[in-house]
């Protein structure tokens, strides 16, 4: 079959051709639209949370606030940041970057998307059953008080997990088997390395979440008592099972972000990446260590001191590969010809925010200080700095970086920069005060607070509006690019990876002739 | 056509031998558990036999002995991570300050 | 479509039929990894609670009939053998023998499920039910139901896999019957076979865990 040379957007058109497409690029865009919708949904819940916390006293009933908080967490975690970068950018660019025509199992790839959609519909249906108010962590025994909504949500998470496993499996097989001639493992772009490490986590960790939520559903339906202290079960074991998945899940969220940052930092410094091997293998190291640290979520849960100390020490190890990445990025910037494009701004924003997020993690990994900070806004600020500041900054940077390749149009640089300004400043205005609030002792997850916390909470809520506005600008920039952007050349940024050697947007078969690779991915001169 | 050749290495006779071994081990595990009184070694013996049976199934029926090595690593990783879950959960449960459940 | 042609048309992103075969097989193995980790969670939970409540688990296991367990073990082992033969004959393109072997495998799966049904109805009759539903003999213990929570979760999840496996085997049986498999293309039988062996493998560990040493 000779390539027709037509772009993947042309050819068959119509909604049906998209919903049945096996082309990884189209599936990537399907994920983009659905994840963007979930992000809007989760974002609305976030704004409602901040609205309630704008001033002391109840604006919404407490029960309703608990549901906002649960849905914000569950939607953002399971339907936005976990599928986020791997399913959108990974789907689109992993095959392109290794010179493959598609992922290993295109049908499975489409099926994963349908699984995610099914899960999302189920998750939204729980609203009709009265809603879930357990928080996204579903801690027992509160979550086993026989609520139909919890049962449906548990199955929704199970199916979302299935989607994640199948995506991971697909990517591992793709990386192992479909690399173009000459594309050795040590010549793969760092984004591929990051997605590959993430995929390993998805396959190894998600099944344990599957069995955990299955047990949770059974607990609700049949009172099996495995996690119910009234029947001799151990609720702390639920936490162990839950965090065996959910801690690596944190890295499922952030490793792909680090991969994106590696691409952006080298492209917009116009310089070969510093320490390619170190960055590549530190992804695998982070993936491995992430399995050894989950107990740091449970320091106050009643787990034994021996376990707590072990987990605390192991947690400190995560800092090593993370710092390796950060220092290598800094060294890449050093004496590079830095271009302050929108993706580069997001990259620098990522480094700033992620460093704060990482450093504050040290206090939470230290048992003594964690006792003080546990379940306060300090924790909320910390994980938003890592997950939102990290992943969302990277996804925005990546989206603008690859937009010309995905849709074949250039975006307006000044509008896009404006989105960065609002998101970056808004983010820090929202979450930095929460470090202080947490330190002052404001507990998380409550719908109300003492008057002493009012002024910082007001600042935080105003920040959340700035973030929301920033995302609206970003959305506008993307729509404007698609509607009236100038046509994108093949390689607008002067990047060196393979996806830039094919047309923008790429043809259905990605490369008209299979590329042969003879050098590393970042050979800038 | 490498893989097509490889499979012919496993003859039907081999499969039958493996099957007989599996049946034999099943009988052995029943005998040791139900008709001999091994006391503290009961668990060890039963799970050692199960491991041998599992090994036979994976090596011959699932062709791991003849296939590419990567499949071995893939399947080994799953056991390693189940062990990891086991290890840290037990580390916690075994070192907790004894709290007697009201239920026993 | 491919019943007459010896050569299988592999998907456009692969270089050759071997390439497609090896990649698909790796996919199946990765899927098996996720299955093992899912069951692994239950095994870990079982071991922890067995140490927490040794008496409960001892008395619970006494209620199980090891003869039925052993029978089911042998049935599943035999089905694994016929599955191997199913793959073997599919690869040789021997349509008749392949279909027979696969049909026997499905039959074994059905026998396994019937025995499970007998066991389950017996337990339900005696009130040996999970958790709060337990109404059987208490042996002076207040949470006997915990053992049966594990019993039903583990055998239930395993049984679901047996049923799923039977459906998959039926699917490859129908394809084998159409003569779709030969030495160039038998990937689906091979993949389903690996899944079926995993189901057997899990039972190999469940049998001593539940019936023998508990």
Query: Would you state the pLDDT for residue C5?
Result: 46
Cα gap B49→A357, rounded to integer Å = 49
Question: Do residue C13 and residue A102 have CB atoms under 8 angstroms apart?
Answer: yes
Could you give the domains of chain A? 23-501 (1.20.210.10)
- Tell me what the mean pLDDT of segment A92-105 comes to: 95
Residues C41, C164 contacting (CB under 8 angstroms): no
Query: Would you state the pLDDT for residue C6?
Result: 55
Total CB pairs under 8 A between chain A and B: 49
pLDDT tens-digit series, residues A322-351: 999 999 999 999 999 999 999 999 999 999
Closest residue of chain A to B97, computed from CA coordinates: A304
Confidence of residue C12 (pLDDT cuts 50, 70, 90): confident
Confidence of residue C167 (pLDDT cuts 50, 70, 90): very high
Query: Would you state the pLDDT for residue B99?
Result: 63
Cα gap C162→C116, rounded to integer Å = 11
Which residues lie across from C182 on neighbouring strands? Answer: C185
Angle, alpha carbons A12-A15-A20 (nearest 5°): 70
**pLDDT at A282 exceeding the cut of 80:** yes
Query: Would you state the pLDDT for residue B71?
Result: 95
Confidence of residue A450 (pLDDT cuts 50, 70, 90): very high
Q: Does B81 touch chain C (CB under 8 A)?
A: yes
pTM over 0.80: yes
- Tell me what the mean pLDDT of segment A436-442 comes to: 95
Q: Which residue has the higher pLDDT, C3 or A273?
A: A273
**pLDDT at C85 exceeding the cut of 70:** yes
Cα gap A26→A198, rounded to integer Å = 22
**Residue A201 distance to chain C (closest CA, Å):** 11
Question: Do residue A234 and residue B85 have CB atoms under 8 angstroms apart?
Answer: no
| Fold type of domain C54-212 | 1.20.120
Question: Do residue C45 and residue A108 have CB atoms under 8 angstroms apart?
Answer: no
Cα gap B71→B69, rounded to integer Å = 5
Query: Would you state the pLDDT for residue C213?
Result: 77
Half-sphere exposure of A90 (CA within 13 A, CB side): 33
SS (H, E, C) C60-119: HHHCCCHHHHHHHHHHHHHHHHHHHHHHHHHHHCCHHHHHHHHHHHHHHHHHHHHHHHHH
Q: Which residue has the higher pLDDT, B1 or A50?
A: A50
Query: Would you state the pLDDT for residue C7?
Result: 63
Tokens 């980790």, residue located: C37
Rg (CA), chain A: 22
Cα gap A497→A517, rounded to integer Å = 10
Nearest beta carbon to residue C26 from set A177, A212, A215 = A177
**Residue A160 distance to chain B (closest CA, Å):** 21
- Tell me what the mean pLDDT of segment A439-461 comes to: 95
Name the residue among A465, A341, A328, A489 with its Cα closest to residue A43.
A465
Residues B64, B75 contacting (CB under 8 angstroms): yes
Nearest beta carbon to residue C48 from set B2, B78, B89 = B89
- Tell me what the mean pLDDT of segment C59-66 comes to: 91
**pLDDT at C111 exceeding the cut of 80:** yes
DSSP conformation class of B104: -
pLDDT tens-digit series, residues A133-157: 999 999 988 898 878 899 999 999 9
Nearest beta carbon to residue C204 from set B16, B54, B89 = B54
Confidence of residue C120 (pLDDT cuts 50, 70, 90): very high
**pLDDT at B3 exceeding the cut of 80:** no
| Across A439-443, B40-44, B71-75, least confident range | B40-44
Name the residue among A223, A207, A257 with its Cα closest to residue A88.
A257
Query: Would you state the pLDDT for residue B104?
Result: 55
Cα gap A31→B51, rounded to integer Å = 42
Cβ partners under 8 Å of residue B45, min gap 6: B29, B32, B33, B38
Query: Would you state the pLDDT for residue A525?
Result: 66
pLDDT tens-digit series, residues B13-58: 999 999 999 999 999 999 998 888 777 788 889 999 999 999 999 9
Cα gap A330→A309, rounded to integer Å = 33
Q: Which residue has the higher pLDDT, B40 or A433?
A: A433
Which residues lie across from C185 on neighbouring strands? Answer: C182
Question: Do residue C70 and residue B43 have CB atoms under 8 angstroms apart?
Answer: no
- Residue A446 — left, alpha, or beta (φ > 0 → left; ψ -120 to 50 → alpha)? beta
Number of neighbouring beta carbons within 10 Å of residue A148: 13
Tokens 């057997």, residue located: C200
- Tell me what the mean pLDDT of segment A215-243 comes to: 92
Confidence of residue A394 (pLDDT cuts 50, 70, 90): very high
Cβ partners under 8 Å of residue B24, min gap 6: none
Helix locations, A337-392, DSSP H? 342-365, 367-373, 377-383
**pLDDT at B9 exceeding the cut of 80:** no
Which residues lie across from A377 on neighbouring strands? Answer: none
Residues A56, A448 contacting (CB under 8 angstroms): yes
Query: Would you state the pLDDT for residue B4?
Result: 47
Query: Would you state the pLDDT for residue A1?
Result: 39
Q: Hey, what are B48's tokens?
A: 């050692």
| Mean pLDDT value across chain C | 92
**pLDDT at A2 exceeding the cut of 60:** no
**pLDDT at B74 exceeding the cut of 70:** yes
Query: Would you state the pLDDT for residue C141?
Result: 86
Query: Would you state the pLDDT for residue B28?
Result: 95
**pLDDT at A28 exceeding the cut of 60:** yes
Q: Which residue has the higher pLDDT, C5 or A525?
A: A525
- Tell me what the mean pLDDT of segment A221-249 comes to: 93
pLDDT tens-digit series, residues A463-517: 999 999 999 999 999 999 999 999 999 999 999 999 999 999 999 989 988 899 9
Tokens 């580390």, residue located: B91
Cα gap A158→A155, rounded to integer Å = 5
- Tell me what the mean pLDDT of segment A319-324 comes to: 94
Question: Do residue C131 and residue A101 have CB atoms under 8 angstroms apart?
Answer: no
Measured between beta carbons, which residues in chain B are less than 8 angstroms from residue A204? Answer: 77-78, 81
Question: Do residue B29 and residue C51 have CB atoms under 8 angstroms apart?
Answer: no
Cα gap C200→B55, rounded to integer Å = 12
Q: State the burial class of residue C16 (Cβ atoms within 10 Å of its Cβ: 0-12, 13-18, 19+).
A: exposed
Query: Would you state the pLDDT for residue C198?
Result: 97
Return the percentage of chain B with pLDDT > 90, whole number. Answer: 60
Angle, alpha carbons A91-A94-A98 (nearest 5°): 150
| Mean pLDDT value across chain A | 94
Question: Do residue C18 and residue B34 have CB atoms under 8 angstroms apart?
Answer: no
Cα gap A104→A106, rounded to integer Å = 6
DSSP string, A8-45: TTSSS-SHHHHHT---HHHHHHHHHHHHHHHHHHHHHH
Cα gap A451→A175, rounded to integer Å = 55
**pLDDT at A3 exceeding the cut of 80:** no
Q: Hey, what are A339's tokens?
A: 């271009």
Name the residue among A111, A80, A103 with its Cα closest to residue A25.
A103
């Amino acid at each position: 079959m000779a390539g027709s040379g037509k772009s993947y957007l042309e050819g068959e058109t119509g909604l049906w051709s998209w919903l049945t497409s096996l082309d990884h690029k189209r599936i990537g865009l399907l994920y983009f639209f659905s994840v963007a919708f979930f992000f809007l949904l989760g974002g609305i819940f976030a704004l409602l949370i901040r609205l309630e916390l704008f001033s002391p006293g109840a604006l919404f009933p407490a029960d309703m606030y608990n549901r906002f908080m649960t849905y914000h967490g569950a939607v953002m975690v399971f339907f936005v940041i976990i599928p986020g970068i791997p399913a959108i950018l990974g789907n689109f660019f992993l095959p392109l970057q290794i010179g493959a025509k598609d992922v290993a199992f295109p049908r499975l790839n489409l099926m994963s998307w349908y699984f995610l959609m099914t899960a999302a519909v189920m998750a939204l249906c729980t609203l009709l059953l009265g809603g879930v108010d357990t928080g996204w962590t579903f801690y027992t025994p509160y979550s086993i008080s026989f609520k139909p909504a919890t049962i449906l949500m548990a199955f929704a998470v199970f199916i979302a997990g299935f989607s994640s496993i199948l995506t991971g499996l697909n990517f591992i097989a793709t990386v192992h088997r479909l690399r173009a001639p000459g594309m050795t493992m040590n010549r793969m772009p760092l984004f591929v390395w990051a997605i590959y490490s993430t995929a390993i986590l998805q396959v190894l960790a998600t099944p344990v979440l599957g069995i955990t939520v299955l047990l949770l559903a059974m607990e609700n339906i049949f009172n099996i008592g495995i996690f119910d202290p009234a029947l001799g079960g151990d609720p702390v074991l639920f936490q162990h099972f839950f965090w065996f998945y959910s801690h690596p899940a944190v890295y499922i969220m952030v490793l792909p972000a680090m991969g994106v940052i590696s691409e952006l930092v080298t492209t917009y410094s116009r310089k070969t990446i510093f320490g390619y091997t170190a960055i590549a293998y530190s992804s695998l190291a982070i993936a491995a260590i992430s399995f050894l640290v989950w107990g740091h979520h449970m320091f106050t849960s009643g787990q034994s001191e021996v376990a707590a100390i072990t987990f605390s020490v192991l947690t400190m190890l995560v800092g090593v590969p993370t710092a390796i990445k950060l220092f290598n990025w800094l060294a890449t910037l050093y004496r590079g010809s830095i271009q302050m494009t929108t993706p580069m701004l997001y990259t620098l924003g990522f480094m700033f925010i992620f460093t704060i997020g990482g450093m504050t993690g040290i206090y939470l990994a230290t048992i003594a200080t964690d006792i003080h900070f546990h379940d306060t806004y300090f924790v909320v600020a910390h994980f938003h700095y890592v997950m939102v500041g990290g992943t969302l900054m990277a996804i925005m940077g990546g989206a603008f970086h690859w937009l010309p390749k995905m849709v074949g149009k250039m975006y307006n640089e000044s509008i896009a920069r404006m989105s960065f300004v609002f998101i970056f400043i808004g983010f820090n205005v929202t979450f930095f005060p929460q470090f202080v609030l947490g330190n002052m002792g404001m507990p998380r997850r409550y719908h109300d607070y003492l008057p002493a916390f009012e002024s910082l909470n007001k600042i935080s809520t105003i920040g959340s509006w700035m973030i929301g506005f920033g995302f609206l600008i970003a959305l506008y920039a993307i729509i404007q690019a698609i509607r009236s952007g100038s046509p994108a050349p093949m390689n607008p940024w002067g990047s060196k990876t393979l996806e830039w050697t094919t047309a923008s947007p790429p043809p259905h078969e990605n490369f008209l002739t299979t590329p042969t690779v003879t050098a590393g991915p970042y050979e800038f001169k | 056509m490498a893989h097509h050749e490889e499979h012919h290495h496993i003859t039907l006779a081999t499969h039958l031998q493996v099957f007989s071994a599996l049946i034999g081990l099943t009988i052995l595990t029943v005998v040791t558990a139900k008709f001999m009184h091994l006391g503290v070694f009961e668990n060890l013996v039963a799970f050692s036999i199960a491991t041998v049976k599992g090994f036979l199934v994976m090596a011959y029926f699932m062709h791991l002995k003849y296939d590419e090595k990567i499949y071995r690593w893939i399947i080994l990783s799953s056991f390693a991570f189940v062990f990891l879950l086991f290890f840290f959960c037990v580390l916690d449960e075994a070192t907790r300050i004894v709290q007697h459940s009201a239920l026993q | 479509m491919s019943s007459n042609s010896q050569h299988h048309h592999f998907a456009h992103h692969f270089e050759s039929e071997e390439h497609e075969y090896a990649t698909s097989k790796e996919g199946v193995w990765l899927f098996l990894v996720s299955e093992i980790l899912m069951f692994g969670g239950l095994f870990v939970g079982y071991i922890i609670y067995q140490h927490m409540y040794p008496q409960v688990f001892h008395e619970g296991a006494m209620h199980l009939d090891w003869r039925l367990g052993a029978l089911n073990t042998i049935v599943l082992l035999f089905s694994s053998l016929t599955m191997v033969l199913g793959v073997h004959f599919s690869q040789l393109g021997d349509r008749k023998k392949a279909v027979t072997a696969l049909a026997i495998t499905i039959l074994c799966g059905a026998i396994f499920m019937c025995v499970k049904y007998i066991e389950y109805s017996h337990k339900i009759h005696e009130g040996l039910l999970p958790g709060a539903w337990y109404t059987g003999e208490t042996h002076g213990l207040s949470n006997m139901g915990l053992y049966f929570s594990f019993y039903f979760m583990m055998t239930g999840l395993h049984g679901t896999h047996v049923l799923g496996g039977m459906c998959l085997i039926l699917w490859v049986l129908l394809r084998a019957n159409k003569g779709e498999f030969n030495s160039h293309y038998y990937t689906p039988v091979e993949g389903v076979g690996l899944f079926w062996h995993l189901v057997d493998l899990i039972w190999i560990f469940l049998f001593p865990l539940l019936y023998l040493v508990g």
